[in-house]
Structure 1
Amino acid sequence: MAVLGLLAGCSGGVEGSPVAAERWDPCSITPEQIAATGLDPEYRDEGWGKGIEIPDWGRCVFHAPGGTAYPYGLDVTSSEKFTIADARGRDGNLSVRELQVGGRDAHMYKTETGKSVRDCSIALEVSTGVVVFTVVYHTVDGVDSCQVVLRHVNDLESAIPAGPK
């Protein structure tokens, strides 16, 4: 009982409940930031599509200029429940490369999406989980989708939350 009294007497903690990490909204990237990286500032598509909900992830899609004939899209997704370690551990990641972007840990990878589509993703560690940038390239023109996504990530890295401390 004396131990309980001692602990209670020394209590000086903060009252209340812990605050859950809040997911960063990928659609908070401004039209000006989108234009500065060379994407169409007039186009953005929020979410996963009509009737589709993926509770652990937020999503925003941006297109390269070109109207309906745009050569690629940039998907930006974020999760407060997953981490860069989860991205590293995914089965099916191909051409894996570890790198630094803006001084933070990054994981670049491709997936097998089909012969007519080339994709490349970069997962970035943030204080509230992970943000993943994915270029989905539809045009067969020899452009390396990983170089395209890396350019956009470098341009937009300042728009996402800071990395963990």
Structure 2
Amino acid sequence: MEPHAVGEPTRWDPCSITPEAIGATGLDPGYRDEGWGDGIVVPDWAICSFKSPGVDIAYFFVVMSSVTHTVEDLRRDTSNINGRDLDLDGRDLFLYETEATRSIDDCNIAVGLARGIAVFTVNYMNVGDGVDPCELVLGHLADLEFALPQ
């Protein structure tokens, strides 16, 4: 967890998901990339990336968290497309896609937390091969829901 001032809410750390849990959902348990990259700071968000197994990477699975953003913020964001509300054991979920790039297909699920939000994303590289990144992200979220804070 990142340090925080007294009284400031603690942000859930997406890299707290164990390698065992990552492996159990079919991802490479030996790979994790924490943070935004060298010299890049995004104070509103924590990020951790995982990858599909093997040498030819079909997709990256990205988990982010924030205490300053909400699921409602993402519902209102007009750059998010094909949005729909979901429910997972009483949690507020919003599934959406973006058109950020033509080289990947993405699907995102925003999950409301007691403090803030978590966003699960699949960035699928093999565009046009018939795989639905939304099915992938839904499966990973179902496998990892236990890792979210209550």
TM-score range normalised by the length of the shorter chain? over 0.9
Looking at secondary structure, tell me which structure has more helix per residue: 1
Task: Name the Cα RMSD after superposition.
Answer: 1.3
Indicate the structure (1 or 2) with the bigger Cα radius of gyration: 1
2:148 maps to 160
TM-score of the superposed pair, with normalisation by structure 2: 0.93
Q: What 5-or-longer segments of structure 1 have no aligned partner? A: 1-16
**Residues in 2 aligned to 1:55 and 1:134: alpha-carbon distance in whole angstroms:** 19
Corresponding position: 1:83 with 2:80: no
Q: 3-state DSSP class of the match of 1:152?
A: helix
2:120 maps to 133
2:84 maps to 97
**Residues in 2 aligned to 1:73 and 1:103: alpha-carbon distance in whole angstroms:** 27
Q: 3-state DSSP class of the match of 2:29?
A: coil
Corresponding position: 1:60 with 2:48: yes
What amino acid is the match of 1:82?
A: H
Corresponding position: 1:20 with 2:5: no
| 4+ residue segments displaced more than 4 Å | none
What amino acid is the match of 1:137?
A: Y
Q: How many residues align?
A: 145
TM-score of the superposed pair, with normalisation by structure 1: 0.84
Q: 3-state DSSP class of the match of 1:91?
A: coil
Residue 147 (structure 1) aligned to one of 118, 135, 144: 135
**Residues in 1 aligned to 2:89 and 2:61: alpha-carbon distance in whole angstroms:** 19
Give identity over the alignment, percent: 51
**Residues in 1 aligned to 2:124 and 2:131: alpha-carbon distance in whole angstroms:** 9
**Residues in 1 aligned to 2:117 and 2:74: alpha-carbon distance in whole angstroms:** 9
CA contact (8 A) 1:110 1:120 kept: yes
**Residues in 2 aligned to 1:62 and 1:39: alpha-carbon distance in whole angstroms:** 7
CA contact (8 A) 1:102 1:154 kept: no
Offset at 1:115?
2.4
